[in-house]
């Protein structure tokens, strides 16, 4: 993990931020905060799983928003006011961004969940330092004192502020001498979804101790036509397996799911290793959230709903697939081999464990098998939908290539990168890297906030933004605040002319 800059994506804090505005349904974007390269940062990616079920399902849709770019939504406080009045009250209040009474209630909820488990689930207690942060004001409320004494006791909680240089997100983070489970305020209004979130993030805080190091596996193949098609068929088969009670029917559905996955692996060389890594990272985190945060029946019904409905809303599966697959394989393993967690390690593969537990043999004529079984799960209609999507993607590829590759650009080097982005919007741009349509990024040179996207190279050595015509300055210096992006340079850095536009250089 220390061969190149890319492999040093033993990133510090990757997380998805959960912001909800209603106890019923909300359709938000997921968020990731990432840091790499800094010697002062922890080598931990703590990336929260997505939690959502589509409209009409029993569970609410609780997904993520970009932490640095989105505005935090109001939280419904327990007062006689209407929901709109409650929401307006929080949005307009700068003096009390976090309701201390509500925060105390949530800390007690987490404590109750974790103490009920008592460390039995993973052999280590999830109880520990937890802190809620309002992303606008950066005000923080914690369940205990930080080691450096920055937070001050107020009632049953500890209150203070997070410094601007500290990235805030749903994550496991080292701050003020303490390793925290950090969560963005407001938390989900729905009690069950909040329970899942609390347990999910608490697992990230102890995952390294459990022997499951974080990973930045890209899984770009899941944004291709074949990757998406066979993944969605796998999810449909997993949902079917969870719905069944008959053992033979369960085995058949699991066989189908594993066959669809194996066929996908044959098309992409790195697919197996990359998918396995993210499933042991985010997959296990979300599985933990579901199993510890909910009853068994609720965990099952929620997982089925997510598998059936969330794919329709996700723009990409590149970083979000494990949030669906992880709980599904975990619940099926609970049924097939109850002691499977005690045998799990960083080299394990959830799919192989399930295949062994159910004694499944995959048909040797794999193509014939998957072609036939795909029709059971609506393969033909899915095929047409994915073809239409691919046509739109081809047009977008041409547009992004023009903007970030062949056109005039501004290039910034990456060495100690920290960023927040929406993983549901990531767009792999072939050999050039990945386009992040919405992103906030900081490094030694300063802070970049994009309004129309940025391209990060495949080796994570540079970020490129387009140079709009209006930003071309007369003195050969581009406007650093324009309709496409805002760049705040640190002292000692400047922008100078290059072959394809401009580049950031240290004086």
**Would you say 454 and 412 are in contact if contact means Cβ atoms under 8 Å apart?**
no
Compute the distance between CA of residue 442 and CA of residue 433 in angstroms, rounded to an integer: 18
Residue 471 has a pLDDT of 84
> CA end-to-end span of the chain, whole Å?
32
Q: How remote is the C-alpha of 233 from its chain's centroid?
A: 22
Rg of the chain taking only CA atoms, in angstroms: 23
Distances (CA, A) of 298 to 133, 193, 304, 331, 416: 29, 11, 10, 12, 42
Q: Where are the domains of the chain?
A: 32-210, 220-377, 392-506
C-alpha 89/C-alpha 96 separation (Å) is: 10
Q: Tens digit of pLDDT per residue, the chain (507 long)?
A: 333 333 333 333 333 333 332 222 223 333 445 554 433 332 222 232 223 322 223 333 333 333 322 222 222 222 333 444 444 444 444 467 999 999 999 999 999 999 999 999 999 999 999 999 999 999 999 999 999 999 999 999 999 999 988 888 898 999 999 999 999 999 999 999 999 999 999 999 999 999 998 877 779 899 999 999 999 999 999 999 999 999 999 999 999 999 999 999 999 999 999 999 999 999 999 999 999 999 999 999 999 999 999 999 998 898 899 999 999 999 999 999 999 999 999 999 999 999 999 999 999 999 999 999 999 999 999 999 999 999 998 999 999 999 999 999 999 999 988 888 876 788 888 889 999 998 999 999 999 999 899 999 989 999 999 999 888 765 567 889 999 999 999 999 999 998 889 999 998
Rounded to whole angstroms, the Cα distance separating 259 from 360 reads 10
pLDDT at 442: 92
What are the tokens at 90?
Answer: 């929080």
What is 224-283 written as a DSSP string? SHHHHHHHHHHHHHHHHHHH--SHHHHHHHHHHHHHHHHHHHHH-TTHHHHHHHHIIIII
The pLDDT tens digits of the residues spanning 214-240 come to 877 779 899 999 999 999 999 999 999
Alpha helices in 337-378 (DSSP H): 350-357, 366-374
Residue 83, by phi and psi: left (phi above 0), alpha (psi -120 to 50) or beta?
A: alpha
Q: Which is it for strands 501-506 and 409-413: parallel, antiparallel or unpaired?
A: parallel
Q: Cα dist. 5→10, 219, 331, 442 in Å? A: 10, 18, 36, 16
Longest Cα separation, the chain: 74
Task: Say how far apart CA 30 and CA 407 lie, in whole Å.
Answer: 30
Q: Would you state the structure tokens that stand for residue 135, as one six-digit string?
A: 């992303």
pLDDT at 79: 30
């Amino acid at each position: 993990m220390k061969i190149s800059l890319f492999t040093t994506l033993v990133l510090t804090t990757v997380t998805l931020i959960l912001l909800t505005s209603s106890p019923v349904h909300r359709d938000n974007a997921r968020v990731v905060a990432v840091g790499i390269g800094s010697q002062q940062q922890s080598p931990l990616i703590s990336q929260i799983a997505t939690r959502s079920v589509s409209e009409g399902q029993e569970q609410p849709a609780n997904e993520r928003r970009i932490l640095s770019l989105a505005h935090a939504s109001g939280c419904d406080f327990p007062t006689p006011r209407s929901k709109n009045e409650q929401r307006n009250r929080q949005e307009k209040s700068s003096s009390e961004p976090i309701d201390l009474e509500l925060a105390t209630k949530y800390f007690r909820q987490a404590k109750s969940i974790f103490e009920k488990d008592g460390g039995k689930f993973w052999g280590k207690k999830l109880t520990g330092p937890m802190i809620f942060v309002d992303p606008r004001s950066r005000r923080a409320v914690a369940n205990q004192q930080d080691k450096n004494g920055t937070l001050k006791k107020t009632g049953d909680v500890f209150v203070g502020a997070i410094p601007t240089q500290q990235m805030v997100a749903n994550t496991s983070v080292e701050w003020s001498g303490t390793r925290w489970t950090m969560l963005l305020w407001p938390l989900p209004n729905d009690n069950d979804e909040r329970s899942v979130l609390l347990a999910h993030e608490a697992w990230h805080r102890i995952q390294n101790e459990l022997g499951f190091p974080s990973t930045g596996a890209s899984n770009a193949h899941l944004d291709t036509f074949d990757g998406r098609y066979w993944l969605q068929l796998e999810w449909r088969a997993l949902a079917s397996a969870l719905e069944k009670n008959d053992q033979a029917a369960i085995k058949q559905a699991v066989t189908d799911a594993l066959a669809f996955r194996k066929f996908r692996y044959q098309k992409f060389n790195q697919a197996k290793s990359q998918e396995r890594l993210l499933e042991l990272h985010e997959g296990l985190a979300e599985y933990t959230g579901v199993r510890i945060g909910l009853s068994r029946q609720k965990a099952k019904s929620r997982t089925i709903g997510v598998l059936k409905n969330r794919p329709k809303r996700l723009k990409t599966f590149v970083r979000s697939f494990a949030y669906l697959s992880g709980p599904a394989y975990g619940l099926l393993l609970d049924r097939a081999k109850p002691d499977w967690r005690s045998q799990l390690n960083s080299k394990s593969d959830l799919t192989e464990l399930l295949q062994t537990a159910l004694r499944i043999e995959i048909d040797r004529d794999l193509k014939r098998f998957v072609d036939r079984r795909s029709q059971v799960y609506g393969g033909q209609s899915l095929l047409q939908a994915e073809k239409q999507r691919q046509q739109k993607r081809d047009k977008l590829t041409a547009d992004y290539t023009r903007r970030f590759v062949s056109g005039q650009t501004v290039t910034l080097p990456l060495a100690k990168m920290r960023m927040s982005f929406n993983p549901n919007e990531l767009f792999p741009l072939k050999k050039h890297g990945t386009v992040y349509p919405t992103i906030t990024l900081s490094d030694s040179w300063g802070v970049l906030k994009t309004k129309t996207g940025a391209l990060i190279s495949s080796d994570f050595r540079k970020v490129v933004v387009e140079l709009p015509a209006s930003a071309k300055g007369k003195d050969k210096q581009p406007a650093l605040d324009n309709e496409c992006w805002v760049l705040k340079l640190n002292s000692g850095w400047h922008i100078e002319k290059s072959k394809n536009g401009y580049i950031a250089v240290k004086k």
